[in-house]
C-alpha cells in the first residue's frame, strides 16, 4: 500500500478572506489562523471582528476605487490562498427586482469576485507560485428561485467563472474551486428571514425554522462546517481537485 500522509495545516501560507466580518468569513479566518496561516482580511468595516490576529484592510469592493485598492493590496502581498466570500443578498420577483438591485448585487457578487480572483491569480503567476482560490457560491446558484432571481444568477456566475478560471490557471499550478453553502445560520439570515416574512407574508422566524427543518440532515448549517471545507480546499489535501463546486448544504441540492 502506497500511503503518503499529508498534514492538514497552513503553515507558511498567506490567506486572504474577503467579507471577513460575515459569519462564514469570520469562521474561515479563525480556522485558517488556528492552522498557523498568515491571515489577511478585508471588509467594509475598519476592524476585523474575528477572534484571531489578521492583517486587515477596509475596502468597499462594490465600488470601483475600493476594488482597485484591494487589487493593489493583493498584488503587494501575493496571498497563497484567496477566499472570495464578500457578497450581498436581496429579494424580489422578476416584477419587483429592478435594475438597481441587479447592479448592486452584480457589482459585489460577480464583478468584485472576478476582480479579486484575477488579481490573486496574476500575483501568483508573477511570483511563479502555486496557490488555491476558493469562491463562495450558493445552493441558489444551482437553480432559479421565484423571489431570488438576481442573487441566484450571480451565484450561478460564480460557479461558471470558477470553472473557466480553473481551466485557464491549471498550467500554472493554481487551483480554483467553489464552495456552495446551503442554509447556514449566520447573521445574514436574519435579513433573509425578514425579507421572506415580507414577500411570503410569514411571521418573523418562521421561514428560518422551515428551511432548517427541510434540510435532509435536519438543521441549518453552522459557519464552522463551511470553514472546514475551506481548509480542505486551501491545503495540500485537495491538491488534485480543481474546477469543482463542493456543496455544504446537508443534502439540500442533489447534483
Give the catalytic positions in this structure: 151
Question: What are the CA-CA distances from residue 138 to residues 37, 73, 155, 157, 235 (Å)?
Answer: 25, 27, 6, 11, 22
Handedness of CA 118, 121, 124, 125 (dihedral sign): negative
Show the cell assigned to 167.
Answer: 481551466
Residue whose C-alpha cell is 439540500: 252
Going by the DSSP 8-state scheme, the letter that residue 108 receives in this structure is: I
Query: What span, in angstroms and rounded, lies between the C-alpha atoms of 159 and 244?
Result: 8
CB burial of 111-123 (b: ≥16 within 10 Å; e: otherwise) equals bbbbbbbebbbeb
Residue whose C-alpha cell is 419587483: 96
Amino acid at each position: 500500500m502506497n500511503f503518503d500522509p499529508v498534514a492538514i495545516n497552513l503553515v507558511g501560507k498567506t490567506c486572504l478572506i474577503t467579507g471577513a466580518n460575515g459569519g462564514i468569513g469570520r469562521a474561515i479566518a479563525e480556522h485558517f489562523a488556528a492552522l498557523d496561516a498568515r491571515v489577511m482580511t478585508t471588509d467594509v468595516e475598519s476592524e476585523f471582528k474575528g477572534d484571531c490576529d489578521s492583517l486587515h484592510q477596509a475596502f468597499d469592493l462594490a465600488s470601483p476605487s475600493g476594488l482597485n485598492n484591494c487589487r493593489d493590496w493583493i498584488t503587494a502581498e501575493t496571498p497563497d490562498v484567496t477566499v472570495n466570500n464578500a457578497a450581498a443578498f436581496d429579494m424580489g420577483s422578476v416584477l419587483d427586482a429592478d435594475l438597481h438591485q441587479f447592479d448592486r448585487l452584480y457589482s459585489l457578487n460577480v464583478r468584485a469576485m472576478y476582480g479579486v480572483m484575477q488579481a490573486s491569480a496574476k500575483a501568483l503567476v508573477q511570483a511563479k507560485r502555486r496557490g488555491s482560490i476558493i469562491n463562495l457560491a450558493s445552493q441558489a446558484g444551482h437553480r432559479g428561485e421565484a423571489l431570488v432571481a438576481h442573487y441566484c444568477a450571480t451565484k450561478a456566475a460564480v460557479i461558471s467563472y470558477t470553472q473557466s478560471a480553473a481551466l485557464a490557471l491549471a498550467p500554472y499550478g493554481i487551483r480554483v474551486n467553489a464552495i456552495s453553502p446551503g442554509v447556514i445560520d449566520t447573521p445574514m439570515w436574519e435579513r433573509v428571514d425578514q425579507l421572506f416574512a415580507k414577500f411570503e407574508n410569514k411571521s418573523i422566524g418562521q421561514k428560518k425554522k422551515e428551511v432548517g427543518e427541510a434540510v435532509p440532515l435536519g438543521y441549518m448549517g453552522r459557519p464552522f462546517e463551511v470553514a472546514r471545507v475551506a481548509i480542505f480546499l486551501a491545503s495540500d489535501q485537495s491538491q488534485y481537485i480543481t474546477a469543482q463546486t463542493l456543496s455544504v448544504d446537508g443534502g439540500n441540492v442533489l447534483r
